[in-house]
Every structure is written in C-alpha cells, then in structure tokens.
Amino acid sequence: MLPDNPKYIPRVCYEIFVRSFCDSNGDGIGDLNGIISKLDYLQELGIEAIWLTPVHPSPSYHKYDLTDYFDIDPEFGTMEDFKRLLQKADEHDIAVYMDLIVNHTSTLHPWFTEARKSPDNLYRNYYWWMTAPQIEELGIAQRQTSDDSQEVYPWHENMDDPEKYYGLFYKGMPDLNYHSEELKIELQKIVRFWLNDVGIDGFRLDAARHIFPEWEKEWSLEFWKFFSELIHETKPGAFTVGEVWAETEEVAPYFRSLNATFHFDLSFALQRILIQEKDENLISKLLNSYELFAKYNPLFIDAIMLTNHDQERIGSVVGNNTDKIKLAASILLTLPGQPYVYYGEEIGMLGTKPDPYIREPFLWTDQEHDPDKTSWIQAEFSTNQTIKPLSEQKNDAQSVFNHYKSLIKLRKAEPAISQLIAPNLLNIDLDDDNLMCYERPHADKSILVIHNLSRYYKIIHLPDEKKYFSNVLFASHFIPAPVSGNLEMPAYSSIVLSQIF
Ligand SMILES: [Ca+2]
Ligand SMILES: [Ca+2]
C-alpha cells in the first residue's frame, strides 16, 4: 500500500537542531520555549514546517540515543511545552515533524538494561545478540564504513555475556530487532501516542535504511510497509520523510512506503558543482532519479537540502564566499521538491566536523550576552567575528538572510517553482559548463532559471525558442532584463525569468 497523500504538503521546511537554536531560560541550552519564541521569525522567513532533531530523554547532547519514547528531555522542556509548541506552530501555519528513531535506543533505555541481564530476559529479543562463533560463521564481524556510520566492528561486548550485541552506529546505540512481535506492539504505541494523543504532523525517520542489519537488508523495506500501514490506521495523511542515506537507486524503493526521502546524491552533487564551479549534467541526473522514484510511487516527494546536521555546513563548503552561499540557496530554492533549510544556513553560518561544530549556536544579535543565544558549546566557526548576526542582516537588503527570504517568497508565489508532485523540470543547454539553466514548465506561467556557477562574467544567448523569457522575477545581483535573448550575468549570479504577459 502506498502512503496516504498528505492533506497539505509544506512547501519550504526548516531543520532545527534543538540544543543550538534558542534558549528561553538562561541555562545556555536551546529548548522548546525558545523555538516558540522564534515562530514569528520562522514565519517571516516563509517556513511552513519544522523538523525538530530528537527531543526525548537521552544522555547525549544530540539525543539520537534515547532512553524514553514517551517523554521530553528536561533539558528541552516539558510535555506541556511541547504541546504548546504544536498549538503555537499551528497558529503560525507551521507543521511540526518529530525525529523518530526506531533503529536503536540508548544502552540506558530500560529495554536494554533488561535485555543485557541474561539471554532469557523477556526483553532480550528486542535487540540483536550472537556469540562470537555465530558472528564468524556469518562473516559479519566487520563492516565497510558508510557515509552514515564509521563503525567497523558493530558487535559489542556485554560484560561477561557469551553473546555480543549489535550496534551499527556505536556501542552506546544498540540496534532494535523488529523480528520481535512485542517490539512491534511497542512501536504501535509510540506512533499512536505522538500522532494522536500529542498531535504532531509527521515524522522524520532516522536511519531508515538500517532498520534491519546489512545481512538482512531486504527486511528494512518490509518494515516500512508495516510502518506505512500503521500510519494509515493511526492518522492518514501524517507526513513521513525518511533518512535513506544512500545512492538514488537504493533510495527509490523506500517511496513505496514513505511520502518523502532526503536526496543525499543531490546534496553532494550541489556541493561539487559549487566547489568546481561547473555543472555536471545535474538536471539530467535529477530527471533520471524522478523517473526511478515514480516507478515506486507517482506521488513521491523529493526532500532536498544543501546539507543537514550530519554534513559540513554549506558556508564552509564554499569557503565562506557570500556570493557562493547565495548561489547555493538560489539553486536549492528554484529546483523541484520540498527544500529543508538547515538552521543557520539562512544567515550563512559556517562549520566543519567534528559534529558539534556543524551544530553551533544560532547568532540572533550582536549582543555579547544575548539571552536567546545558546552557549552549550564555544563556537569555533560561526562567531560574531565571522558571521553577521540575524539582527544586522535583517536591515541589509543584500544580506544572505534577505536573499533566502526573497527566494522563499518567490517560490511560494510561483506555482511553477513550488510544484511538489510530479516535478516539472526541463534541461536547457546553454553549451557552457559554467552555466546551469532549467525551465520549470507550467500551464499558467512557466519559469526559466539561469545560474552562473563561475567566477567569470558571462554573456548569455538564450535559444530562440526561449527568448520570450524576458521578465525578471528575481536576480541575485543587478542584472538587466534580457534584450532579444541576450543577458549579462556577473560571477555567481542567478536570475529567474518569466514571460511578459
Ligand atoms: Ca534552555
Ligand atoms: Ca538496525
């Protein structure tokens, strides 16, 4: 069964790393009331849905290793705060998607503290256990690292237990085993609780391709079928967006059961294009991926992003070049799909790994002791010396913030750009690798987009059959309207054109 078509699909989304976004109570840690206080800001930016990184009780700063599926970590607030966030977000026409981690728990989750006690414990089969000879026989003692896990030895010792447990990401995150019918019943309770009792709008699904381990990979797709049916029974139209961190071919089958999946291949392609300042047939590759996705689900939604909380920030990828930071946004926000802006991208925040430094405090103002600013970590990359805070950018028409805001406004105003189902996209070849040009055809009003990816000044000659695109809807720099199809474009500039009616 295909997932239910959501009743309303947000056109521009925003990922919030909760700990770093906004602090409401002076402890230096971002929290739910902090997010509530910034809903006006998010609405001004044009955001229609927020994805919150995990909010459940957890011993870590990132909280991807949870100890309780039914509560809120006290560092972030209370269940009452969470419900108020949902209500206030709704008043701002912003949907809320919660990160749901079904692949693993913390070793401190009561299921695991029970399971590790003995092989005949009632919770033992919630996790994966094997003896060393069994692991050897299956040849699964070691694995190749992947973009989403650096773990080479996924089997971990449990004190003097003859069996080891499986933890794909690291020893503090034991993988759950959905061969257990009891565990599936627990999952049903979790999903019903958050969708119906609490009332969230959807889930971002963590580590979706790893639900079953590598030697039983085919079961992961079965699991999501079960999950999709569970959503259908619980709250039809609740939104699901999966983290399937893999190549497009491997991602596509997940559309059978999920509304959307994140497009990692596109994210890395965009980064390469920006670094190399050259196109690599991106539009043709995208069209191929759409064809593949549609085979599994004609209503597929391509969840697109420049980067997320697991990737180096786009500002650093492009060497903190403001023009290229804007160019990245111009491409993302004019391509088909459902864009996810990673918090801070809209002010050009920087950061490279290790992970905490791609998750630094949002810079709201230039006050040294801004009460909204989180301080759980000393920022190395995004400081008042390197980044203009939001308060300054708001008053600067040329700022990265106003660039994002204008593009999001344009996207929402133009159905050709924001069309989500059945992506409308045509490659226009301008015969120059430094340029990228595409059309977003639409019955009422088609749009033509051109980017100069390079440091060179370019004069562009539109093909004869596209010369009627002469009305400038948006330009990143001052770009005169094309005269008989000829157009001047400075370095790293973008222009969005329509017909003159
Ligand atoms: Ca706080
Ligand atoms: Ca797993």
The predicted-structure confidence for 143-172, as pLDDT tens digits, reads as follows 999 888 899 999 999 999 999 999 999 999
* pLDDT higher than 80, residue 501: no
Q: Greatest CA span in the chain, whole angstroms?
A: 79
pLDDT band at 39 (very low <50, low <70, confident <90, very high): very high
Q: Give the pair of three-digit tokens for residue 489.
A: 């474009």
Q: Give the pair of three-digit tokens for residue 364.
A: 């709201």
Ligand 2: distance of its center to the CA of 217 in Å?
9
Q: Which ligand is nearest to the CA of 21?
A: 1
| 206 annotated active-site | yes
- Cα 439 to Cα 447: distance, rounded to the nearest angstrom: 6
| 249 annotated active-site | no
pLDDT band at 121 (very low <50, low <70, confident <90, very high): very high
Ligand 2: distance of its center to the CA of 179 in Å?
11
From the list 48, 151, 163, 206, the catalytic residue is: 206
pLDDT digits (tens, 9 = 90+) for 344-391: 999 999 999 999 999 999 999 999 899 999 999 999 999 999 999 999
Protein residues near ligand 1, an ion, with CB under 5 A: 23, 25, 27, 29, 31
Q: Which ligand is nearest to the CA of 143?
A: 2
Cβ proximity of 276 and 319 under 8 Å: no
Share the mean pLDDT of the chain. Answer: 97
Q: Which ligand is nearest to the CA of 34?
A: 1
Q: DSSP for 169-222, please give it.
A: S-TTSPBB-TT-HHHHHHHHHHHHIIIIII---EEEETTGGGSS-GGGTHHHHH
What is the pTM (predicted TM-score) of this model?
0.97
What is the per-residue pLDDT for 383? 96
Ligand 2: distance of its center to the CA of 222 in Å?
13
From the list 163, 175, 201, 243, the catalytic residue is: 243
